[in-house]
Structure 1
Amino acid sequence: MTKLRRAFGAPLSALIVFLAGIWILGLIAAPQIIMIEQSFWTMQRPEGAAELSVKIDALYNRLDVLALDHAAAPDEAARAAVDAERDAVQTEITALEVEESTPVKTWTLSNYGQMGKAHLAIFAKTILASLAVTAIAFVVCYPIAFAIAKLEPPRRAAMIMLALVIPYAINELLRVFAWQMILNYGGPLNAALGLVGIGPVPFLESGTGVFVAMVYAYILFMVFPLYNVLETLDTNQIEAARDLGAGTIQIHRRVVLPHARPGIAVGCIMTFMLSAGSYAVPYIMTRGTADPWFTQLVYNRFFQATNWNVGAAYALSLLVVCTGFIFLMMGLLKVRLRDIAK
C-alpha cells in the first residue's frame, strides 16, 4: 500500500484499492460464497409435517360433524354456538396448513448425493477429456511458441502471431459452428477422405470434434504464456548447450522446458479450466446427441430442473477440481504464484 501511495498519490491509490475491492469482493468472492452457501442447504417439509397432516384431517372430520350439528340445532343460540366453533376450527386448519406447506431451510450434504453413478461418470469423463485437451494443446502449441520466440525472424514471427490472433476477431460460436460444418458427414474433410476411399468418419458423434474445436478455441491461452516465457530465454544458453554436444531433445529437456515452467503452468491451467467449464463447444460439436459435458448437467440443474441448490453443489464440485488442478500444476512444475503472475 505504501508503494502504491508513493507511485500514484493518496487519492488515486484509494480509488485503485476501492475499485479492486469491488472487483474482488463483488465479482469474485461474493458469487463464490453464495454458491458455496447454497450448495449446503435445501428446502424441506417442516419437522412433524406428517403429524400436522393427521391433525388437519381430524379437524376436517370435526368440521363435517359440526355441519351435522348445525343442521340439527334446535334453536338460534345453538346454531350460533356451532358456527363459532366451526370458525375456530377453520381458523386452526388454515394456520396448520400454512405451517405444513411452508418449507424449512435445512442444512445438509444431500445436494452432493444427487450426483449418482451416471453423473459421476460424466464428471470423470469431463475432467479426463479436459486433461486430454490440455495435453493436446500443449503438444500443438509448444513448437509454435518456440518457433515464434526463437527460430523465426521478428517480421515473420509477427505475421505468425497476427495469423493466430485474427480468427479470434470472429465470435467463438461462429468459429465452433464452422468446425462443425468442416467435420460433419457432408463436410469438406469427409469429402477429402472419400476421394481416397475413407469414410465417412463420424467426427462429431465420436467426440473427436470436441477435442479439435476446443484445442482451436483455446490455442491462444496456451501459445501466449509459452511465448512470453520463451522470449525471455537467452539464446546463448541454447547455443552453449549445443556447443557442449547436447542434441535437440536434450536442449529442450534440460534448458528450454525448465525455463518455460511458469508459462507451461499458466497455459495448462487456463486451457484446463476453460475446457472443463465449457458449455457451448461440446454441445454444438456433438449436436446434443453424445454424452453431455458436466457443465451441461450444471446448466440443466439451474435452468431446466430449477434446482439451484443441486446446481450449486455440482458447480462447486467442478470448482474444487479446477482449484486442485492449479495446485497440482504448481507442485509438478515447482512454480509459485509469483512466478505464474509474471
Structure 2
Amino acid sequence: MTRLTRAFGAPLAALILFFAGAWILGLIAAPQIIMIEQSLWRMERPAGSAEISVRIDGLYNRLDVLALDEAEAQARADTEGRAATLAELATTRAQIETEIAELEEQESRPVKVYTLANFTQMGTAHLAIFFKTIAASLAVTAIALVVCYPIAFAVAKLEPPNRAALIMLALVIPYAINELLRIFAWQMILNYGGPANALLGLIGIEPIPFLESGAGVFVAMVYAYILFMVFPLYNVLETLETNLIEAARDLGAPTWRIHMRIVIPHARPGIAVGCIMTFMLSAGSYAVPYIMTRGTAAPWFTQLIYNRFFEATNWNVGAAYALSLLAACMVFIFVMMRLLKVSLKDIAK
C-alpha cells in the first residue's frame, strides 16, 4: 500500500486496491467458494419421513371408514339423528383432511443436508471417463510440447528477427477466427470423406475414421491450444544467451546435449507455464471433444459436468464433479512445479 501510495497517490492507490479486491473476490474467490459450498450439500427427505408416510396412510384409511359411516347415516330413517351424525362426520373428515395436508407438506418439503455423498455419485463408468479425460489431456499436453518446442526454439534462436516476427504472426492470424469455426474446419478435414483421407487414398491407404476413433480430438486440441504452449516457450528461449549455445558447439557438444544441458534447463519456467495452460484448457474443454467426435464417442468429463448441471438439473453433483476436475488440475500444477523445480515466482515471470 505504501509503494502504491508513493507511486500513484492515495486516491488512485485506493481505487487500484478496490478494483483488484473486487476482481479477486468476485471473479476468482466467490465462484470457487460457491461451487465448493454447492458440492457439500443436497436436498433430502426430512427425518422421520417414513413414519409420516405411515401416519398419512392411516389417516386415509380413517377417511375410508368415515365414508362407510356416512353411507350408513344417510340410510337412517331418523332425520334429526341423521343430520347430527352427518355434521359430526363432516367435522371429523375436515380435521383429518387438514392433518393429511399438513403431513404431506411436511413429508414433501426437502431439507438441506451437508454431506460428501455428491462425490460418491461418480460410479465406475464416470470414474473411467474422468481418468480417460485426464490421460487424454496429458497426451495432448505432451504432443503440444513436442510440436511447439522446436518451433519456439527455431523462432527464438535460429531465425532473424524479421522472419521470426512473420512466423509468430502466421501462428496468431488463424486465432482471429472463432474457435468453433476452426474446430468445424478440422472436422471437415478429418471427416471420413475429407481431404485427409483423400490424400491417404492417393498413396493406397484405406480411409481412416479419425473422428470415430477419437484421434481427431488430439489434432484439434493441439491446434486449438498451440499458442498457449508456443508463446511461453518463445518468451523464455528468447532470453537465452546465444553465446552459451555457440560455446557449447565450439567445445564439441552434440545438439541433443546442448538442449539437455543448456536450453531445456533455461526453458523450464516456459515449459511449466505452457504445460499447465495446455493441460487445464484440454481437461476443461467441452466443444472440441463433442464436435470432433460428433457426440458418438465416450464423452469427455466436461460433458458429464454439463449434463449434471443442465440436463439432470442436479447442480450439487455437477459442482462436485467440477470440483474433482479442478482438484486434478491443481495436482497437475504442483506436480509440474515439482518436476521442473520452478516456483510461482518463476512462472509469473
TM-score range, shorter chain: over 0.9
1:176 to 155, 179, 183: 183
**Partner in structure 2 of residue 277 of structure 1:** 284
Provide the C-alpha distance between the structure 2 equivalents of 1:273 and 1:264, rounded to a whole number of angstroms: 14
User: Secondary structure in 2 aligned to 1:298?
Assistant: helix
**Partner in structure 1 of residue 62 of structure 2:** 62
| Structure 1 residue 65, shift from structure 2 partner | 2.4
**Partner in structure 2 of residue 3 of structure 1:** 3
**Partner in structure 2 of residue 98 of structure 1:** 105
Matches within 5 A, 1:19-58: 19-58=19-58
User: Secondary structure in 2 aligned to 1:305?
Assistant: coil
1:190 to 197, 211, 236: 197
| Structure 1 residue 243, shift from structure 2 partner | 2.2
Unaligned regions of 5+ residues in structure 1, if any?
none
For these two proteins, the number of residue pairs brought into alignment is: 342
Provide the C-alpha distance between the structure 1 equivalents of 2:117 and 2:107, rounded to a whole number of angstroms: 22
Matching of residue 238 in structure 1 with residue 229 in structure 2 = no
Q: Deviations over 1:197-216 (max 9, x none)?
A: 10201111111110000000
| Structure 1 residue 161, shift from structure 2 partner | 0.4
Provide the C-alpha distance between the structure 2 equivalents of 1:324 and 1:8, rounded to a whole number of angstroms: 39
| Structure 1 residue 81, shift from structure 2 partner | 2.8
Matching of residue 127 in structure 1 with residue 141 in structure 2 = no
| Structure 1 residue 6, shift from structure 2 partner | 1.5
| Structure 1 residue 305, shift from structure 2 partner | 1.0
TM-score (norm 2): 0.95
Provide the C-alpha distance between the structure 1 equivalents of 2:8 and 2:153, rounded to a whole number of angstroms: 38
Provide the C-alpha distance between the structure 1 equivalents of 2:147 and 2:90, rounded to a whole number of angstroms: 84
| Structure 1 residue 168, shift from structure 2 partner | 0.1
| Structure 1 residue 71, shift from structure 2 partner | 4.5
Instruction: Name the aligned partner's letter for residue 80 of structure 1.
Output: A
| Structure 1 residue 218, shift from structure 2 partner | 0.2
Instruction: Name the aligned partner's letter for residue 99 of structure 1.
Output: Q
Unaligned regions of 5+ residues in structure 2, if any?
74-80
Q: Which 10-residue stretch deviates more, 306-315 or 267-276?
A: 306-315
Matches within 5 A, 1:124-273: 124-273=131-280
Provide the C-alpha distance between the structure 2 equivalents of 1:177 and 1:161, rounded to a whole number of angstroms: 24
Provide the C-alpha distance between the structure 1 equivalents of 2:306 and 2:27, rounded to a whole number of angstroms: 20
Instruction: Name the aligned partner's letter for residue 229 of structure 1.
Output: V
| Structure 1 residue 118, shift from structure 2 partner | 1.0
User: Secondary structure in 2 aligned to 1:42?
Assistant: strand
| Higher CA-based Rg | 2
2:316 to 287, 293, 309: 309
